[in-house]
Structure 1
Amino acid sequence: MSEPGSRATSPRRDTYTPESLLAVAVQVFNERGYDGTSMEHLSRAAGISKSSIYHHVRSKEELLRLALSRALDGLFAVLDEPGAGQGRAIERLEYVTRRTAEVLMAELPYVTLLLRVRGNTDTERWAMERRREFDHEVAELLKKAAADGDLRTDVDARLATRLLFGMINSIVEWYRPERGGSAGSEEVAEAVIVTAFAGLRATPGAHQS
């Protein structure tokens, strides 16, 4: 019986690239857990020698940082898109929420890994701090939308942020498009928007305590 982590598709040696190594590493990290993965596990899963891995990265933690950077860069890039910086705060918030869900699904293995880090290494603590920065940016949009009168004022912005991203982050637990039967990424993102903002948007003319 093969060990967990050996199920990853091994790239041909003559087509091996740092990108293919990173993809395999992320798969093994997600299967075994980062702490439970050794360079030997990565070597077997990638179908290359440990010396070949060390030719491109210094350590297992460098692979972790590369993987987490890919997920974080995708999320922070959303904040730089025109839709995140133009219009009323509520429109920007909806845009960021939709695009965050789309990035999660497009970079599913990498964001899954990001959501599973627990702060056991310097790289994991760095990633967690960056996640908090992203959440803070979204919380600020929530506050602005509430100040504009577009969101309910009886829901705390920090709590709403946690609930909103709890919904988005849960997608990693069940979204498996390769298995068939799952909703498409656009459908999932739309469902997040409809479900979340039906409860967050202020009702015109309604009294809010």
Structure 2
Amino acid sequence: MAENNTRTAYTVESLLAVTVEVFNERGYDGTSMEDLSRAAGISKSSIYHHVRGKEELLRLAVGRALDSLFGILDEPAAVTGRPVDRLEHVVLRTTEVLLAELPYVTLLLRVRGNTTTELWALERRRDFDHQVAELVRAAVAAGELRSDVEPRLATRLLFGMINSVVEWYRPGAKAADGVAEAVVHLAFGGLRA
């Protein structure tokens, strides 16, 4: 009876949390529906009750990360003010989103383009990167950032620093306090004109 209650308590959201954990451990291609069923403690048919299959779970997971990132670009501090302040806000918030949505962003950063969903996710990531690069260009043009570093390179380096956090950050670790602020401080200490 307790097992049955557990099964009825499963939601797409709780299934997604388990799925992301398994995808991050085994890789998307290395994960079967049987693996997901075992990890969730429910039957494959119960999973299919919630979603059409493994690729839909991937799309929901990376979509969650992408929606959070794109939401940053619509925040008031990202659309008004000096370009450098807007960029600084985007960098801070991108790092905060990465920390808050760590398993989902980790999965997003690991997609390689092997499926339709992965290609979609890569294209959306590129779009996000391009929008941030435009902010960098605007800040350089306004004389707020160094002009001796090409904007696309500066953007790649910023994201390289931010995205590397998924490799070492562990929630709850004392040494991880202030990560977002440290990223902004280090990046803009070197980029400001």
Query: Which 5+ residue runs of structure 2 have no aligned equivalent?
Result: none
Q: Secondary structure at the match of 2:96?
A: helix
Q: TM-score, normalised by structure 1?
A: 0.89
Q: Which runs of 4+ in 1 moved over 3 A?
A: none
Which position in structure 2 is the counterpart of 1:63?
Answer: 57
Which position in structure 2 is the counterpart of 1:8?
Answer: none
Q: Residues of 1 paired with 2:108 and 2:79: CA distance?
A: 25
Which position in structure 2 is the counterpart of 1:154?
Answer: 148
Q: How many residues align?
A: 189
Q: Residues of 2 paired with 1:94 and 1:12: CA distance?
A: 44
Q: Residues of 2 paired with 1:126 and 1:19: CA distance?
A: 21
Q: Residues of 2 paired with 1:108 and 1:130: CA distance?
A: 18
1:167 and 2:161 are equivalent in the alignment: yes
RMSD: 1.0
Question: Structure 1 residue 119: deviation in Å?
Answer: 0.5
Q: Which has the higher helix share?
A: 2
Q: Which residue, 56, 62, 70 being the options, matches 1:76?
A: 70
Q: Residues of 2 paired with 1:182 and 1:52: CA distance?
A: 40
Q: Residues of 1 paired with 2:91 and 2:76: CA distance?
A: 14
Which position in structure 1 is the counterpart of 2:129?
Answer: 135
Question: Structure 1 residue 14: deviation in Å?
Answer: 3.6
Question: Structure 1 residue 122: deviation in Å?
Answer: 0.6
Question: Structure 1 residue 56: deviation in Å?
Answer: 1.0
Which position in structure 2 is the counterpart of 1:102?
Answer: 96
Question: Structure 1 residue 17: deviation in Å?
Answer: 1.1
Q: Identity over aligned residues, as a percent?
A: 74
Q: TM-score, normalised by structure 2?
A: 0.96
1:34 and 2:25 are equivalent in the alignment: no
Q: Residues of 2 paired with 1:94 and 1:140: CA distance?
A: 13
Give yes or no for contact 1:85–1:92 (8 Å, CA) kept in 2: yes
Q: Secondary structure at the match of 2:174?
A: coil
Question: Structure 1 residue 182: deviation in Å?
Answer: 3.2
Q: Which residue type is aligned with residue 74 of structure 2?
A: D
Task: After superposition, give the CA deviation of every residue in 1:52-104 in whole Å (9 maximum; x if it has no partner).
Answer: 00011111000000001000000000000001011000000000000000000
Q: Which residue, 176, 180, 184 being the options, matches 1:189?
A: 180
Question: Structure 1 residue 181: deviation in Å?
Answer: 2.9
